[in-house]
């Protein structure tokens, strides 16, 4: 490990990290935007979901590099090629969570909202989606982490990312670049995951209360048990 290489190439490292973050986060967000309406429809009309899930699973089985290459004739060696491919893979992870989250909303809750005069759209926006947020964000977290990892593969078709450090380090037999690239991919994935955890807590403050109550009860039990 040549530590002096890092400060001497900091501008390159920072540029590649930003590009990898862009290629990883944008497809997952686009996948979420696409998954929400499809997931809502699939949750409402259950017969739609099996064929949709079949298509999603087939798409997820396609190797990422093969999908990149298949998109090159239409979009060229650009960020768009990688973003479209990673959006497809994000859909495969996020969409099932959207459906699962909406289906997990307790029936008595939706029935109570209907009894209070909530229409389908208002009930969806103010009751069902908020309750489904934890499950949906769990899928988004997996989608973001997977996209950040797969974004490095885009370097094989000439799209700049942290994959440059892997390829250049391998070609020059310089493991320092490989270690730095691996470390940055892991840190980037962890940082994005922590941000999404914070978003989840901000959007669902009611979900954290039972956890805090359980911790306080457990602490009280341990204190009382201590002689």
Question: pLDDT value at position 218?
Answer: 55
> 3-state DSSP call for residue 4?
coil
Q: Within 10 Å of residue 72's Cβ, how many Cβ atoms?
A: 13
Instruction: Work out the pLDDT band at 222, boundaries 50, 70, 90.
Output: very low
Tell whether the model's pLDDT for residue 30 goes beyond 90: yes
Per-residue pLDDT tens digits for 75-89 = 888 888 889 989 988
Q: Give percent above pLDDT 70 in the chain.
A: 91
* CA-based torsion, 8, 14, 15, 16: positive or negative: positive
Q: What is the CA radius of gyration of the chain?
A: 22
Q: What is the DSSP string of 112-168?
A: HHHHTT--HHHHIIIIIHHHHHHHHHHHHHHHHHHHHHHHGGGGGGT--STHHHHHH
Rounded to the nearest 5°, which phi and psi values hold at 8? -75, -20
- Segment 60-75 shows an average pLDDT of 84
Is pTM beyond 0.75 here? yes
Question: pLDDT value at position 10?
Answer: 87
């Amino acid at each position: 490990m040549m530590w002096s290489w890092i400060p001497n190439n900091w501008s390159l490292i920072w540029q590649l990290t930003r590009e990898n973050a862009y290629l990883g986060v944008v497809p997952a967000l686009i996948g979420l935007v696409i998954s929400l309406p499809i997931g809502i429809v699939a949750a409402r009309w259950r017969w739609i979901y099996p064929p949709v899930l079949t298509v999603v699973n087939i798409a997820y089985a396609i190797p990422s590099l093969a999908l990149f290459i298949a998109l090159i004739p239409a979009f060229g060696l650009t960020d768009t090629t990688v973003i479209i491919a990673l959006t497809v893979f994000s859909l495969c992870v996020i969409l099932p969570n959207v459906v699962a989250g909406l289906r997990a909303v307790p029936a008595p809750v939706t029935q109570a909202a209907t009894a209070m005069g909530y229409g389908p759209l208002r009930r969806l926006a103010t009751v069902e989606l908020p309750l489904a947020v934890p499950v949906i964000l769990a899928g988004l977290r997996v989608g973001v982490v997977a996209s950040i990892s797969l974004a490095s593969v885009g370097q094989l078709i000439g799209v700049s990312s942290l994959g440059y450090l892997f390829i250049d380090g391998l070609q020059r037999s310089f493991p320092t670049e490989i270690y730095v690239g691996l470390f940055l991919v892991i840190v980037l994935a962890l940082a994005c995951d922590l941000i999404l955890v914070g978003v989840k807590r901000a959007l669902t403050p009611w979900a954290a209360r039972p956890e805090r109550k359980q911790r306080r009860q457990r602490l009280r039990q341990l204190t009382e048990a201590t002689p």
